[in-house]
Amino acid sequence: MSSGKCPIGPALLGAPERVLLCIVTGIALGHWLSAPFQQLGQMEVAQVNLPVLLSVVKIVNNIKGWYEAGLLTRGE
């Protein structure tokens, strides 16, 4: 009997494989659907590219808890 879970998941793909899969998927989508991705790339907020801005906000939000817990140091 099947467990109903997808056979391709984090257990079968390590970090390097997931990164490679994301790169290949991004290249393929950019090739086949170039117009929407070009429009997205042209969007700016305060002269900052929107996808870059959203990525930085996500990273900062992810490490906020580390900072508040005192886990981020300056290499002291």
Give the pLDDT score at 1: 46
Give the pLDDT score at 43: 79
Same domain, residue pair 1 and 33 = yes
Same domain, residue pair 53 and 76 = yes
Compute the distance between CA of residue 43 and CA of residue 52 in angstroms, rounded to an integer: 10
Compute the distance between CA of residue 29 and CA of residue 12 in angstroms, rounded to an integer: 23
Q: Is the pTM of this model over 0.75?
A: no
β strands within the chain, DSSP E: 44-45, 48-49
pLDDT tens profile 9-41: 556 667 788 888 888 988 898 888 888 878 877
Same domain, residue pair 49 and 23 = no
**pLDDT over 60 (residue 63):** yes
Same domain, residue pair 57 and 70 = yes
Number of separate domains in the chain: 2
| Owning domain of residue 53 | 44-76
